[in-house]
Amino acid sequence: MKQPRAWQRMLSGRRLDLLDPTPFDIEVEDIAHGLAFVARWNGQTIGDYAYSVAEHSLLVEDIYGQMNPNAPTKWRLAALLHDAPEYVIGDMISPVKAAVGPGYGALDDRLMAAIHIRYGLPAQVPVAVKKQIKKADKISAWLEATQIAGFTRAEADKFFGKPDPKHAESCKIRLRPPVEARNDYTARHAELLSQM
């Protein structure tokens, strides 16, 4: 029986093997493009544009930096890249990830390791850093839930935890064309790499 295809052709011309991804097949332009067209919340948000994973990633990196102003640049880059595998596997909401099971996590881990190595990060981010990035991710999810996804503050508090009031008041969700999110993601990635 013929093996099913487990690779994807990227716009850069790279052929990314999902079962055995290598750092050589990772390009930030592919990541930024894919993430700019992947909708958070399965597209169930208000506005004329979907809220993209690229936009979310920019917000998470910003929140992480606010929470950790003295963090090394490499961990800010890790925050920007925290959802990078979704450029090929999409953004599955947590209930779908739970239904899919551990195979999703293994695929995500393989892609993340290749992405990290490609950009000079360790394959595995230290647990303490990962927890801080996750905290920024939950703050972003709370903001998205209450500003564009129809959640009440009480619902968001229950699912994502109460954010620091300074984030709840100062961070605003931006809905804009994918090309703008893509360009800003690529630019921020280049800026962080230049500081490492």
DSSP 51-102: -BHHHHHHHHHHHHHHH-TT--HHHHHHHHTTTTTHHHH----HHHHHHH-H
pLDDT digit string, tens, across residues 8-28: 899 999 999 988 999 999 999
pLDDT of residue 167: 77
pLDDT digit string, tens, across residues 162-184: 998 887 777 889 899 999 999 99
User: Which position has the token pair 């994973």?
Assistant: 53
pLDDT of residue 166: 82
pLDDT of residue 6: 82
pLDDT of residue 174: 85
- Dihedral angle of Cα 55, 122, 126, 137, to the nearest 10 degrees: 10
Residue ranges, the chain, pLDDT below 50: none
Residue 120 is classified by DSSP as T
pLDDT of residue 25: 94
Element (H, E) at 16: strand 15-17
Contacts of 98 (CB under 8 A, 6+ apart): none
Element (H, E) at 130: helix 127-147
pLDDT of residue 72: 98
